[in-house]
Amino acid sequence: MRKSFWLKTFILVIALVVVLAVIVAMRFQLSRGQAPRGVSSVIPAQTGTRTFFTQFVISGGPIVWFVLLPMSLVMVFLAVEHGLTIRRKKLLPGGIGGQIIEIIQQFGPRQLAARITDRGDFVSIAVVKAVAQGKGDWFRMRSLLAESLQEQAGGLLRRIEWLNLIGNVSPMVGLFGTVFGMIKLFNAIVMAGGQPQPSQLADGISVALVTTFWGLFIAIPALAIHGVFRNRIETLANDAVVEAENIVPEIRRSLEQSQAEEPKRKQPIQEFGGKPRDAVGGSQPLRR
CA distance 53 to 69: 12
85: how many CB neighbours lie within 10 A of its CB? 13
Whole-Å CA distances, 252 to 204, 222, 231, 248:
71, 44, 32, 6
All structural domains of the chain with their residue ranges: 14-40+48-259
pLDDT tens, position by position, 230-284: 999 999 999 999 888 888 888 778 777 766 665 555 555 454 455 555 544 444 4
Asked if 189 contacts 162 with a C-beta cutoff of 8 angstroms, the reply is no
Asked if 167 contacts 218 with a C-beta cutoff of 8 angstroms, the reply is yes
pLDDT tens, position by position, 171-198: 999 999 999 999 988 888 888 887 878 8
Q: In terms of C-beta density within 10 A (0-12 exposed, 13-18 middle, 19 or more buried), how is residue 101 classed?
A: middle
Instruction: Kindly indicate the confidence band of residue 166, based on its pLDDT and cuts at 50, 70 and 90.
Output: very high
- For the ranges 21-25, 44-48, 80-84, 128-132, the maximum mean pLDDT occurs at 80-84
Main-chain dihedrals φ then ψ at residue 93, nearest 5 degrees? -60, 150
Asked if 98 contacts 182 with a C-beta cutoff of 8 angstroms, the reply is no
| Contacts (Cβ under 8 Å, ≥6 apart) of 214 | 56, 60, 64, 68, 69, 72, 170, 174, 177
